[in-house]
Amino acid sequence: MELTCTGAGSRLILKLEQFNPTGSTKVRMAREMILAAERSGALKPGGRIVEPTSGNTGTGLALVAIERGYRFLAVVDGHASKDKLRAMRAMGAELIMVGDSGEGPSTVERRRVAGEIARDTGAFWPDQHHNPSNNAGYAGLADELLADLATDVDYLVGAVGTGGTLCGTVRTLRERGSSVTSIGVEPKGSIIFGGPGGKYWQTGAGAGAGFPVGPNVRHDLIDEGVTVSDMDAFTTARVVARRTGLLVGGTAGAAIFFALKRLALVEPGSTMVALVCDAGEKYLDTIYDDAWLMERGLLNEPAHQRLHRLLAAFEESQRLAAIDHARTGT
């Protein structure tokens, strides 16, 4: 979906991954990791799977467990979207809750508990942060982009958690001859690109202080790593919803925020793609809820107005370019 374009012909395209089964991009890698484990013998028929998750990997694994006859145990924290937790339960997953729900994501603790369960029970732990099949699961995403756009992707902007979505897509794009420039986005307060740790409310992307960032974050495949604050991420998601009727998740809001800021600066005629990892319907109780935002000091009307003005400026630049074309006949 084209969100906007500039008068100089640069387009910002959203890749809407929420239309995958389970409503997120992560089902791609969940299936890839399980199929690889079957092939290697790490997962036996009827076996048990355990994974720490903020919810989207979990719903993906819950679906693949149903399809292929496994039991799935998700290690989660209270930071996860309630709807993702409900969805996993509805799909028959067992949930173990760790950490303090009032604080930021308990990525370190979730990982410790999952490791313990795998060790003690023999359950198969796909370990999305270290499993190469995570990144490999996005080959199809890259191919869809090239087929649907019928042109190269000049810039790819995506939120980074395990790194799988962005790095897996970039790897395949480059294998297919793309000269894509990749931009990884993490929440402000996440430590993946070297910034100081702090609290953040974007879920799915980022890593808290002390988290051992795994090799699926391929720094050789990420040309630029940037941080986006919760306020900018959530404001962007809300303004996109207002202007288009499309509800995107918070990490997609972060990617779109940065993409919009960069769009005016790139070479004329560029194709920029922002990855929308999941849909806003999973966050109606959080980023689309004024009271929830207000409690956290994240509801900011001037920030909303700034975003509206930025999008209006792109529209104005298209209008001026059209007048110019009509006048000069180009």
Ligand X SMILES: Cc1ncc(COP(=O)(O)O)c(C=O)c1O
Q: Which residues bind ligand X (CB under 6 A)?
A: 24, 26, 54, 56-57, 159-165, 204-205, 249, 251, 277-278
User: Per the structure block, which two tokens stand in for 111?
Assistant: 């990982």
* CA gyration radius, the chain: 20
Q: How far is the CB of 206 from ligand X (least distance, A)?
A: 8
User: Which C-beta is closer to ligand X: that of 161 or that of 208?
Assistant: 161
User: Which C-beta is closer to ligand X: that of 252 or that of 299?
Assistant: 252
Q: How far is the CB of 262 from ligand X (least distance, A)?
A: 19
Which residue's Cβ lies closest to ligand X?
Answer: 204
Q: How far is the CB of 159 from ligand X (least distance, A)?
A: 4
Q: How far is the CB of 137 from ligand X (least distance, A)?
A: 9
> Which residues are CB-neighbours of 50 under 8 A, at least 6 positions away?
72, 73, 74, 75, 114, 117, 118, 121, 123, 124, 125
- H or E stretch at 77: strand 71-77
Q: How far is the CB of 164 from ligand X (least distance, A)?
A: 4
Q: Does the annotation mark 26 as catalytic?
A: yes
Residue whose tokens read 């399980």: 34
Q: DSSP string of 240-276?
A: HHHHHS--B-HHHHHHHHHHHHHHTTSPTT-EEEEEE
Q: Which of 26, 84, 188, 282 is flagged as catalytic?
A: 26
Q: Which of 124, 160, 146 is nearest to 258 (CA)?
A: 160
Q: Which of 267, 207, 248 is nearest to 14 (CA)?
A: 248
User: Which C-beta is closer to ligand X: that of 6 or that of 162?
Assistant: 162
User: Per the structure block, which two tokens stand in for 182?
Assistant: 């990749």
Q: Which of 232, 223, 225 is nearest to 200 (CA)?
A: 232
User: Which C-beta is closer to ligand X: that of 86 or that of 306?
Assistant: 86
User: Which C-beta is closer to ligand X: that of 225 or that of 249?
Assistant: 249
The residues annotated with a catalytic role in the active site are: 26
